[in-house]
Amino acid sequence: MTPEGMHDLVRRLYPLCRSITGDGVRATLDVIAEQVALDRHEVPTGTPVLDWTVPREWNIRAAWIRDPSGRKVVDFADLNLHVVGYSVPVHRRMPLAELRAHLHTLPDQPDLVPYRTSYYTETWGFCLAQRVLDGLPEGEYEVLIDSTLADGHLTYAEHVVPGRTEEEVLISCHVCHPSLANDNLAGIAVAVAFAQRLENPRFTYRFVFAPGTIGAITWLARNDPGRIRHGLTLACAGDPGVLHYKRSRRGDTAIDRAFALLTDAEVLDFTPYGYDERQYCSPGFNLPVGSLTRTPYAGYPEYHTSGDDPDFVSAEAMSGTLAALTRVMSALEADRRYVNLSPFGEPQLGRRGLYGSLGGRSDAERAQMAMLWVLNLADGDHDLLAIAERSGLPFETVADAAGRLEAAGLLKGDR
């Protein structure tokens, strides 16, 4: 998928009304399934999942507010952020004073519509720009929310790229936000583009597209995550900010170290708040799962507002996120622990053709130093990331040196 293709995917998904359950999630997965094969799962309402229970399914068909003249002043058909997520059905007339208790605005951002939800409390409401609210006349208003909240299912999907080993890389995206291009559609687009790039990987890659919090909890309740070797949540992947990587709860896993070593991302310490990394990193699981974003959770003015539209994200920014993800995963594919099979003194490299093979390379001196560092630290305890960290040499140079030494019979890799 090209950078422009990622942006086109964001634009196509943007109008769909997603929530933690419902047909909007299914429609989103339908579009994703045109790009990568998906295995879908429907989990019935009432199913216990860890300390939670799968909620009732919410769907909505229409919603609006008519002013005293009969004019629609707020209409779900124009923007699905206009309705508080999981609003129960309502069709009533009421004065503006009563209606105000059900209206949500952003007084400090008067031209933007906020995103609000009420997943686990039965209520209803509308979201609108403060400037629109300020212009509403007194009088009687008619409100309609044509929705259903009933037993149904929670839907999530997986795309698996089989690897040469059963150890897994988990990439998790939330699919529950309506019409928010950066949070969460840009992350979905980058995940899909990365999945399409994978070809005969070492690890098995598992992409999980699930509603936030309850979806990740449901996935964890229904699966054994013991094979996960590396993982991350992917969101806010297309805004103009710089890349940020939040470490896993462990803080020193291979993926944590790789992002710090190989990318320009600002590395943040773990906090139990944000996206679904907090579920994967809950103490009972404590998985090696970090979080990749550009501007972090709630860190930009457009966050959870109508300002987070397709024009807010760019193909260039998503391409940059994809490039960083690809470089890190390529390094993790190559990362190994080696044992020096000739550890007593420095082995003679010249008679094995290893010095001569570097002739003419512009980086011959650096490549030679990489061989010496690998031989010295190939003790079964240091992986290639650790050797690159300690030597200050590029990871790719270190990995290339290890490959040459292994081919010459001087190293044995752990797998």
Please give the Cα distance from 228 to 207 (Å, whole number): 12
Angle at 165 between CA 160 and CA 166, to 5 degrees: 60
Per-residue confidence (pLDDT) for residue 362, from 0 to 100: 60
Per-residue confidence (pLDDT) for residue 289, from 0 to 100: 98
DSSP 3-70: HHHHHHHHHHHTTS---SSSHHHHHHHHHHHTTS--EEEEEETT-EETTEE---EEEEEEEEEE-TTS
Per-residue confidence (pLDDT) for residue 414, from 0 to 100: 85
Per-residue confidence (pLDDT) for residue 361, from 0 to 100: 57
Per-residue confidence (pLDDT) for residue 151, from 0 to 100: 98
DSSP 112-169: -PBP-B-TTS----EE--HHHHHTPPSSEEEEEEEEEEES-EEEEEEEEE--SSS-EE
What are the angstrom distances between the C-alpha of 54 and each of 50, 144, 153, 312, 319? 10, 27, 8, 33, 36
Domains and CATH numbers, the chain: 3-55+153-244+263-322 (3.40.630.10), 57-150 (3.50.30.90), 337-413 (1.10.10.10)
CB 219 within 8 A of CB 302: no
Length of the chain measured in residues? 415
Per-residue confidence (pLDDT) for residue 360, from 0 to 100: 53
In our burial notation (b when 16+ CB lie closer than 10 A, e otherwise), range 338-365 reads bebeeeeeebebeebebeeebeeeeeee
Per-residue confidence (pLDDT) for residue 142, from 0 to 100: 98
Cβ-based burial of 59 (10 A; exposed 0-12, middle 13-18, buried ≥19): middle
What are the angstrom distances between the C-alpha of 279 and each of 8, 178, 223, 384? 30, 22, 13, 29
Low-confidence ranges of the chain (pLDDT < 50): none
Per-residue confidence (pLDDT) for residue 375, from 0 to 100: 96
Q: Which residues are part of a known binding site for Zn(2+)?
A: 177, 183, 304
Q: In the block, which residue shows the tokens 């860890």?
A: 50
List strands edge to edge, sheet with 411-413: 379-383, 337-340, 411-413
pTM (predicted TM-score): 0.95
Please give the Cα distance from 204 to 231 (Å, whole number): 11
Token reading at 118: 């009420």
